[in-house]
Amino acid sequence: MIILNIISKEIKQILRDFKTNMLMVLFPIVLIVILGAAFSNVFENSIDIADVDVLYTVDIEGEDPIFENAFSTFRKYMSDETGMLFEETADVEKGISEIENHRYTAYLHITGDPLRIDMYRNRNSGFASGIVENAVESFLESYAATSVIVRNDPAALTKVQQSGNTGQVRLTAIDRKKQPGSTDYYAVTMLTLILLYSSLTGFWSIRSEADAKTGPRVLCAPVQKYQFLTGKILGSISVTIIQAFVVLLFSKLVLKANWGEDLLTVSVLVVTYSIMTVSLGAALAFMFRSAESANGLLNTAIPVFVFLGGGYVPLSVLGDQISKVSVISPVRWINMGLINIIYEGSYFDAYISIAVNLGLSILFISTAALLSGRRNAYA
């Protein structure tokens, strides 16, 4: 009951600061509108298929002329129509290594009996590897149908060819709708940007008690330090989550940003990220006696982490070196987690982001709890 009262008090106290609350909501919305309009042409042409390099290995025991002819036609078609480049290697380990070193967009290991194509994706290639995956899936569907016809009724193949449907992959098979426009992209990145600034909410939630000299007074009542700390952190997290969903819903309903169909997982990512940012601020409130020092650190570090996380421009534009360094930024994982869920249905980066968020939250909350036990911690 004591913790609930502190949570309620904290929420009311934060919401009374109308100016700050409006800034936390309006600032990302304004940035989404401005950046979405300014970079609309850039995002419409952000993927250059001519820059897609595919390494492949055909590892089929015996000869399969039907597949060999089909795959050769597929490579020629994609090269001629899109500029996609294919290069063959006989060394499977080299192929995987080239992907790990980000030298190719994708690596295809083709094995037979039964026919199988294992695709290794360069995660730093953005949506380019998704284009390769869609093209390969379309090829396999076409090949499977053609193969059945050839093996069972070769004469029927002539009718299919005369109809104009050669069974080859068409460019329309690449689902270009599943790419973020500028508004879609900045709806994600500006939300994660402003949530990182919510670390200041957690910081001032603790620091305000020391500045106003109210912390020691509260602790003179039958209130334990852990109850006081828990209530204040949970209150700050509650307000931050409310602000986050106001921005998310406004961008979805009014700005028509695409947040995908799996809003539950998107919400889990946003909530865990909010917990992490507020916990960071609470930990810094106990680590630094000087509010100016903590503020300076946050205001310096936040733009750097946002930049490394692709908050201002996509990581694929920044090059391999920045992409390698970006793994240290939690913003990178939340942005990639959200974008991959929305546009690719991939949950790998989302799981990493949730683990990073919860792991850092435990670390920061533990730090705050340990330091709050110091004498005069709230003074």
Which tens digits make up the pLDDT trace of 177-222? Answer: 467 888 999 999 999 999 999 999 888 888 877 665 665 555 555 6
Determine the average pLDDT of the residues in 369-374: 80
Per-residue confidence at 163, pLDDT binned at 50, 70, 90? Answer: very low
The residue with greater pLDDT, 342 or 102, is: 342
Q: Could you tell me whether strands 53-59 and 106-111 are parallel, antiparallel, or unpaired per DSSP bridges?
A: parallel
User: Quick check: 12 pLDDT over 70?
Assistant: yes
Confidence at residue 84, expressed as pLDDT on a 0 to 100 scale: 85
Which tens digits make up the pLDDT trace of 318-338? Answer: 767 787 888 899 999 999 999
As a whole number of angstroms, the distance between CA 139 and CA 165 comes to 13
Please tell me the least confidently modeled range out of 67-76, 106-115, 125-134, 267-276: 125-134
Which tens digits make up the pLDDT trace of 239-253? Answer: 999 999 999 999 999
> What's the chain's average pLDDT?
81
Global pTM reads 0.68
From the candidate CATH numbers 1.10.10, 3.30.70, 3.40.190, 3.30.9, the one assigned to the domain spanning 49-173: 3.40.190
Where along the chain do its domains lie? 2-43+180-372, 49-173
As a whole number of angstroms, the distance between CA 65 and CA 112 comes to 12
User: Quick check: 257 pLDDT over 80?
Assistant: yes
Taken in order 370, 375, 378, 379, the sign of the CA dihedral is negative
Task: Say if CB 202 and CB 233 are below 8 A apart.
Answer: yes
Please tell me the least confidently modeled range out of 65-79, 156-170, 204-218: 156-170
Per-residue confidence at 49, pLDDT binned at 50, 70, 90? Answer: low
Which tens digits make up the pLDDT trace of 102-161? Answer: 889 899 998 877 778 888 988 777 667 777 888 888 888 777 766 666 565 555 545 444
Task: Say if CB 335 and CB 328 are below 8 A apart.
Answer: no
DSSP string, 153-186: -HHHHHHHHHTT------GGGS-TTSS--HHHHH
